Amino acid sequence: ESTLGAAAAQTGRYFGAAVPAGRLSESAYTTILNREFNMITAENEMKMDATEPSQNQFNFTSGDRIANWAISNGKRVRGHTLAWHAQQPGWMQNMSGSALRSALLNHVTKVAEHYRGKVYAWDVVNEAFADGGSGGRRDSNLQRTGNDWIEAAFRAARAADPGAKLCYNDYNTDGINAKSTGIYNMVRDFKARGVPIDCVGFQSHLGTTLSGDYQANLQRFADLGVDVQITELDVEQGSNQANIYAAVTRACLAVSRCTGITAWGVRDDTSWRDDNPLLFDRSGNKKAAYYSVLDAL
Ligand code: XIL
């Protein structure tokens, strides 16, 4: 196949990209986006600060631009993200306790209801686990409302959009380590108790090495009965970039429940990182990493 999306579709998978709404008016950008990718994530526009700038006053203008562009061009949408410690609106940052719990669940409900029928999968909760060896939760205003805030968010999301797959999404989970094991134990518990969870996202913001058990880690989650997805892939530019992209792609293809890969951007000049981590260079040319992914798909 000649594009990432078409090549991924040969095995029933997708290949996506994160997109900022502002780029949709740049034709050089949308030409690549439309040609290569068949899943779209809003880079910032569906986050809590963007969608609920004042409490219970929702603004879906930019998120809708992205979702409508995707759907009108025959692409699916990954919703990102309903609940996160970061990029909260100011009014939420200072809330706590039961008022925050209610505000969070209202946010999850209203945003998921707005996009009902348009979203393939939601990152319901993003980055709720701590880095390092504890395997426990990250401290945040949300976590301080009680350890069950994550399952409450998943239940609210399911009620609001029963057709969307509901994912937990995190980073530094690129192998079997204390953090990924903490998440694994949570997902196992959710499945055992019937908490609605369908998928786990592995952000995969990578440096110059890839953990040797990257695939085994995906597989152990899949074995719990959830889909797995690579949700925010980008890889530090360097001699190993193309190899790491290929290894991640092969790992996903080797796991039958790995349903797709999303790159966290299109061209290097639009990346949130400054180390040229994407598949297209600043001029929109295909990089070696692009060809290695296409080859691996
Ligand atoms: C990043 C965006 O790319 C930036 O534009 C923004 O300034 C900060 O957030 N993990 C996530 C993404 O889940 O939402 C983050 O996106 C990157 C890290």
Please write the tens of the pLDDT for every residue from 282-296.
999 999 999 999 999
Kindly indicate whether the ipTM for this predicted assembly is greater than 0.90, answering yes or no: yes
What does pLDDT average to over the chain?
98
Rounded CA separation 129/138 (Å): 5
The interaxial angle of helices 214-222 and 178-193, nearest 10 deg, is: 10
272 lines ligand 1 (CB under 6 A): yes
- Which three-class secondary structure state does DSSP give residue 199? strand
Over residues 129-145, the mean pLDDT reads: 98
The interaxial angle of helices 241-254 and 288-296, nearest 10 deg, is: 20
Instruction: Tell how far the Cα of 252 is from the centroid of ligand 1, in angstroms.
Output: 22
Instruction: Tell how far the Cα of 126 is from the centroid of ligand 1, in angstroms.
Output: 11
Please write the tens of the pLDDT for every residue from 56-98.
999 999 999 999 999 999 999 999 999 999 999 999 999 999 9
Check if the beta carbon of residue 47 is closer than 8 Å to that of residue 69.
Answer: no
Over residues 11-19, the mean pLDDT reads: 98
| Residue 23 predicted with pLDDT over 90 | yes
85 lines ligand 1 (CB under 6 A): no
Per DSSP bridges, beta strands 205-206 and 165-170 are unpaired
Please write the tens of the pLDDT for every residue from 188-246.
999 999 999 999 999 999 999 999 999 999 999 999 999 999 999 999 999 999 999 99
Please give the model's pTM, rounded to 2 decimal places: 0.98
Over residues 125-148, the mean pLDDT reads: 98
**Atom of ligand 1 at shortest range from CA of 123:** 13
Rounded CA separation 157/104 (Å): 11
pLDDT computed for residue 35 by the predictor: 98
Mutate to test the pocket of ligand 1, among 23, 66, 264, 278 (most ligand atoms within 8 A of CB): 264
pLDDT computed for residue 1 by the predictor: 75
pLDDT computed for residue 55 by the predictor: 98
Residue with CA closest to ligand 1 atom 16 = 43
Instruction: Provide the annotated active-site residues.
Output: 232
pLDDT computed for residue 296 by the predictor: 98
126 lines ligand 1 (CB under 6 A): yes
291 lines ligand 1 (CB under 6 A): no
The partner residues of 233 in beta bridges, in order of sequence, read 263
60 lines ligand 1 (CB under 6 A): no
Rounded CA separation 209/235 (Å): 9
Residue 105: HSE in the Cβ half-sphere, 13 Å Cα cutoff: 17
Which 8-state DSSP code applies to residue 60? -
**Atom of ligand 1 at shortest range from CA of 80:** 14
Mutate to test the pocket of ligand 1, among 173, 232, 278 (most ligand atoms within 8 A of CB): 232
pLDDT computed for residue 189 by the predictor: 98
What percent of the chain is predicted at pLDDT more than 70? Answer: 100
Rounded CA separation 200/113 (Å): 21
Instruction: Tell how far the Cα of 192 is from the centroid of ligand 1, in angstroms.
Output: 32
**Atom of ligand 1 at shortest range from CA of 231:** 13
Residues 6+ apart with CB under 8 A from 172: 131, 179, 180
CB atoms near residue 216 (< 10 Å): 14
What percent of the chain is predicted at pLDDT more than 90? Answer: 100
From residue 102, how far is each of 97, 122, 254 by CA, in Å?
9, 20, 41
